[in-house]
A = this chain, B = another copy of it.
């Protein structure tokens, strides 16, 4: 018999991650725990595709998911990453539109599936939860706006430096200063919005300038203040 992984109760996640669910009542949490599904997904698995109808949303219990859009000629544009405690797909559930991004696992993940009905019930019956959700969306929108400004105005070099800092802030460094997220050069390019070759060349330059050190996909940040300066980051 297969070794079924232990399904985490919602109560644990909520206390551990300070998620958007933090304002749920005990009853609501229990119902959520009961209604939800939970599964493990290997790197490379696609959770849902742009344009598909969502029947619910997912809460990330562990792992990393990349959310991306497919642009002209199939080139992917990474919009953001989701990690422990984040929820994905709820945007489409709420606005009742087809998914506007695709979601793919890039670090083995454990996801909980929350059916639309359950989600809607919470939104409608718990004003605090609803407010929390809205604030999250608003913050995300604010970030999207900054992203737009950056991509429109900054050079590729600046954007790459900036992304490295953002990745540090979102995923942290290990005790050697290595970014705790592993991306291919192509994925880096698809965040920055440039060609793979450009990323490679610029990373080499950063290395020559002693801003970073490279070891395969491991990127060690050596000089964070200078990276911030290179990225023209002010806030």
Contacts and interface: CB of A to CB of B under 8 A. Distances in A.
Interface of A: 69, 71-72, 75, 77, 79, 91-92, 94-97, 100-101, 123-125, 127, 130-131, 133-135, 137-142, 144-154, 158, 192-193, 232
Contacts of A135: 94-96
Contacts of A150: 71
A151 B77 CA distance: 10
Contact of A144 (B71, B124, B127, B145): B145
Nearest to A99: B142
Nearest to A125: B127
A104 B100 CA distance: 30
B153 A91 contact: no
Q: Which of A95, A127, A133 has the most CB of B within 10 A?
A: A95
A130 B127 CA distance: 9
Chain A residues touching B, majority SS = helix
Contacts of A100: 142, 145-146
A159 to B, nearest CB: 9
B148 A79 contact: yes
Contact of A153 (B75, B79, B142): B75
A199 to B, nearest CB: 13
B141 A91 contact: yes
**8 cross-chain pairs, A with B, having the tightest CB-CB distances, nearest first:** A152-B193, A144-B144, A95-B138, A77-B149, A71-B153, A100-B142, A71-B149, A95-B135
Contact of A152 (B71, B97, B127, B232): B71
A120 to B, nearest CB: 9
12 contacts: A71-B153, A79-B145, A79-B149, A91-B141, A95-B135, A97-B142, A123-B127, A130-B131, A144-B145, A151-B193, A152-B192, A152-B193
Contacts of A72: 153-154, 158, 232
Contacts of A79: 145, 148-149
A164 B140 CA distance: 27
A14 to B, nearest CB: 21
A7 B78 CA distance: 46
Contacts of A94: 131, 134-135, 138
